[in-house]
Amino acid sequence: MKRHKKTGPNYNRYGWAFIAMAFLLYLLFTIYPAVESLALAFQSMEGGKYTFVGLKNFKRMFGDAVFLQSLKNTFLYMVIQVPIMLMLALILAVLLNSRFLKWKGFFRTSIFLPCVTSLVAYSILFKMMFSLDGIINQVLMRLGILEQPFQFLQNSTWARAVIIIAMLWRWTGYNVIFYLSALQNIPKETFEAAKVDGANAAQTLFRVTIPQLKPIVLLTAIMSTNGTLQLFDETMNITQGGPANSTLTVSHYIYNQSFVYAPNFGYASAISYMVVFLMIILAIIQFSVAGKEG
């Protein structure tokens, strides 16, 4: 009791007062909508009124070819883009951390810079770059690789590739920062010990550096997975989900269900909760792959 009193009689009350505002807003704008949308997932609107339909919205998903296509696309982005990005980020971080590198500040800034651009702005930029009269087509034609401009965004494979390239540009630097800070927290002694034991650079990287980065690798992997599952701005602005829904993501489909098509907020909420469910499963898998200490 006495120890408690030392912190002041009003300590708890002040504490609560300080977080009350933030917590209230959090309740109002995060918890309440989340609960409400869960309820919405079991309802369907007809003639302006919501009626309880049980699991109908969830059953509908499995017969919805467009939803399954969007799920497939999203996983495709995840399986291809996330590993490439994390690998690239790791390599860049190790390079940036190297003792021999000059102008570190300059390189760090340039690599991080894409992260401060707005999602919509950079998406539109990529759309312009890969458009018919865009810079990519012009360069390829100047170099004689292409004779006629190529419709990158009208070919399902290339449209997906453009989305992945855009995301790599935008998000790699973000992950580099995480790895860089983690690298700097690795005790120098471990490297010295490796050197004494006669390990070469590759051995040091794979046996010393990466194992010690494991928690951060896990963190970035989970964050990137979540980010990819919520991918929206890029596909919305670069391809509008086309051609033939080949770049449509789940989030984009949720948007279409709510705002483009006849408003179907019940079904859209159900899909949202499906995404939540998938994220939890993926996180569990990643935790178990990363091992207990992760």
Partner 1 sequence: MKRKLTATITAAALALTMLTGCGNSGNAPQETNEPAAQQETTQDTASEETEAPAAPAQDGEAKTITVWAWDDNFNVAVMKEAARVYGETHPEANVNVDVVSLSKEDVYVKLQTALAGGGNGLPDIVLLEDYVSGKYLNTFPGSFADLTDKFDYSQYLSFKVDAVSQDGKTYALPFDTGATALYYRLDLIEQAGYTEEDMQDLTWDEFIEIGKDVTEKTGVQMIVEIANNKTTLVRAMMQSCGLWYFDKDGNINIKNNEALKASFDIILKMKEAGILYEAESTEGRAGALNNGTVASVVNAPWFISSIRQAEDQKGLWRAARIPRISTLDSSINASNVGGSSWYVLENSPVKDEAIAFLQGVWEGNTDFYDTIMRNQGAMGSYIPAYDTGVYEEEDEFFGGQKLNGLFAEVLPDVIPVNYGGYVAEANDAITTALANLFEGKVSIDEALEQAEAQLANQLGR
Residue ranges binding partner 1 (CB under 8 A): 13, 17, 20-21, 24, 44-45, 47-48, 60, 63-66, 131-132, 151, 153-156, 239-240, 242-246, 256, 258-263, 265
**Of 211 and 263, CB closest to partner 1:** 263
Place of tokens 């890029």: 234
As measured in angstroms, the least distance from the Cβ of 151 to partner 1 is 7
As measured in angstroms, the least distance from the Cβ of 260 to partner 1 is 6
Residues 6+ apart with CB under 8 A from 282: 222, 225, 229
**Of 4 and 13, CB closest to partner 1:** 13
As measured in angstroms, the least distance from the Cβ of 25 to partner 1 is 8
**Of 131 and 190, CB closest to partner 1:** 131
Secondary structure percentages of the chain, helix, strand, coil, to 5 = 75, 5, 20
> What whole-number distance in Å separates Cα of residue 127 and Cα of residue 236?
11
**Of 127 and 170, CB closest to partner 1:** 127
**Of 20 and 284, CB closest to partner 1:** 20
Spell out the alpha helix ranges (H) of 143-249: 156-184, 188-196, 201-203, 210-229, 233-238
* Residue 43, phi then psi, degrees to nearest 5: -120, 165
* Category of 186 on φ-ψ map: left (φ > 0), alpha (ψ -120 to 50) or beta: beta
Nearest to 130 by CA among 149, 148, 113, 103: 149
As measured in angstroms, the least distance from the Cβ of 78 to partner 1 is 23
As measured in angstroms, the least distance from the Cβ of 117 to partner 1 is 21
